Amino acid sequence: MASSPDAAFDQQTTSRHLALPQIIAYALPAIPLAALTLPLYVLVPTFYTETLGLSLATVGFALLLVRIFDAINDPLIGWAADRFRPRFGRRRTLFAVSLPLTAISAFMLFWPPVDAGPLWLAGWGLLLSLGYTAALIPFSAWGAELATDYHGRSRITAWREGLTLLGTLVAIALPFAIGFDQAIGLHGLAALGLVVLIGLPLFGAVAVFTTPEPAEHSRMRVNFKSGLAHLARNRPFVRLIAAFFLNGLANGIPATLFLYFVAARLGLPDARGALLFFYFLCAIAGIPLAAWAARRVGKHRAWCYAMLAACAAFAPAPLLPEGSLVAFAAICAVTGLLLGFDLSLPPAIQADVIDVDTASSGEQRSGIYFAAWSLATKLSLAGGVGVVFPALAMFGFDPGADKGSQEGLTALAIAYAWVPIAAKLISIAIMWNFPLDEAAQKSLRTRIETV
Q: Write out pLDDT tens, residues 75-101.
A: 888 888 877 777 777 888 889 999 999
Cα angle vertex 17, ends 11, 20, to 5°? 130
Give the pLDDT score at 297. Answer: 92
- Stretch 247-262: mean pLDDT, rounded? 85
- Stretch 232-247: mean pLDDT, rounded? 91
Give the pLDDT score at 1. Answer: 34
What is the sign of the dihedral through the CA atoms of 279, 287, 178 and 135? negative
| Alpha-carbon gap, residue 235 to 228, rounded angstroms | 13
- Stretch 116-144: mean pLDDT, rounded? 90
| Alpha-carbon gap, residue 253 to 235, rounded angstroms | 27
Q: What is the pTM of this model?
A: 0.75
Residue 376: how many other CB atoms lie within 10 Å: 21
Give the pLDDT score at 64. Answer: 80
59-68 pLDDT per residue, tens: 888 888 887 8
- At residue 260 the predicted structure's pLDDT band, cuts being 50, 70 and 90, is confident
The Cα-based distances of 426 to 159, 237, 239, 242, 386 in angstroms read 29, 16, 11, 9, 22
| Alpha-carbon gap, residue 116 to 183, rounded angstroms | 10
CB proximity list for 394: less than 8 A, separation 6 or greater:
none
110: helix, coil or strand? helix
- Stretch 332-345: mean pLDDT, rounded? 93
The arrangement of secondary structure in 21-450, i.e. its CATH architecture, is Up-down Bundle (1.20)
Identify residue 415 by its one-letter amino acid code: A
Give the pLDDT score at 36. Answer: 85
Among 211-215, 239-243, 246-250, 354-358, name the one with the lowest average pLDDT. 211-215
| Alpha-carbon gap, residue 91 to 5, rounded angstroms | 15
398-419 pLDDT per residue, tens: 665 555 577 778 888 888 888 8
Q: Is the pLDDT of residue 197 over 90?
A: yes
CB proximity list for 17: less than 8 A, separation 6 or greater:
none
Among 83-87, 118-122, 261-265, 318-322, name the one with the lowest average pLDDT. 83-87
| Alpha-carbon gap, residue 447 to 345, rounded angstroms | 24
Q: Is the pLDDT of residue 383 over 70?
A: no
The pLDDT mean for the chain works out to: 84
Residue 291 CB-half CA count within 13 A: 17
| Alpha-carbon gap, residue 262 to 274, rounded angstroms | 11
Q: In sequence order, which ranges of 47-187 are alpha helices (DSSP H)?
A: 56-83, 90-110, 118-146, 150-178
The Cα-based distances of 193 to 54, 108, 198, 223 in angstroms read 20, 7, 9, 40
- At residue 13 the predicted structure's pLDDT band, cuts being 50, 70 and 90, is very low
- Stretch 236-262: mean pLDDT, rounded? 88
